[in-house]
Amino acid sequence: MATTLNNLASLYESMGAYEKALPLYERSLEIKEVALGKGHPSIATTRHVTLTYFLKCIADTFYYNPALPYNFLMIFIETSIFTKLLSGYFSDEEYRCLQSYLLQKPDAGDIVRGTGGVRKVRWAQAGKGKSGGVRVIYYWKKNAHEIWLLTLYSKSERATLPSHVLKQIAEAIEHE
């Protein structure tokens, strides 16, 4: 039954009827998981095929709708330092707004000289504006669609990392 559903989904996909194909791929995967168990190698292959199909649908959506943001699949990775400091500077909503901004403009921050691409974006805090707000230090790993959030600080703290340290971090991320 799972094979039949998968074949039918493939047929719909070839016809461009993605909305009909995806539920069939999903049902095929569910049946295989019950029959074989979630740890079976065939499940990983099926998941890969389903993910590939999903990504193709997204690519087609962008092809036909070029006005959509090209990078909404960005992954945010926080260093432990960033995670510790985060709640002292941003509410959940403010942090969501920062992430949304970086999704739209991952190159928004100024490149910190001598760092190999580490960026600093100034982010306004309530009542302070950008000049008195928070500095967010991050690295945009373009080819992996990742934004590595390294640290943050307020202008008054001036607790930035030296450029040679930021450069070493950027190089380590690129080789990750």
**Percent of the chain beyond pLDDT 70?**
71
> Which of the listed residues 42, 64, 86 is the one where a domain comes to its end?
64
Q: Tell me whether residue 103 is in a domain.
A: yes
Tell me the C-alpha distance between 96 and 17, whole Å: 34
* Two structure tokens written together for 96: 């969501």
135: domain range?
75-174
Higher per-residue pLDDT: 73 or 110: 110
Neighbouring C-beta atoms of residue 165, cutoff 10 Å: 13
Q: Tell me whether residue 79 is in a domain.
A: yes
Asked if residue 37 and residue 84 are part of one domain, the reply reads no
Q: Tell me whether residue 104 is in a domain.
A: yes
Residue with tokens 């991952």: 106
Tell me the C-alpha distance between 12 and 9, whole Å: 5
Q: What is the DSSP letter of 160?
A: P
What's the number of domains the chain is made of? 2
Using 50, 70 and 90 to split pLDDT, how confident is the model at 71? very low
The pLDDT score that the predictor gives to residue 9 is 76
Asked if residue 123 and residue 51 are part of one domain, the reply reads no
Asked if residue 116 and residue 152 are part of one domain, the reply reads yes
Model pTM score:
0.55
Which whole number is the average pLDDT over 56-84? 67
Neighbouring C-beta atoms of residue 20, cutoff 10 Å: 14
Asked if residue 85 and residue 47 are part of one domain, the reply reads no
Residue with tokens 């087609």: 60
Q: Which residues contact 8 (CB under 8 A, 6 or more apart)?
A: 24
Evaluate whether 173 touches 101 at the Cβ level (below 8 Å).
no
The pLDDT score that the predictor gives to residue 59 is 55
Higher per-residue pLDDT: 53 or 18: 18
Evaluate whether 149 touches 82 at the Cβ level (below 8 Å).
yes
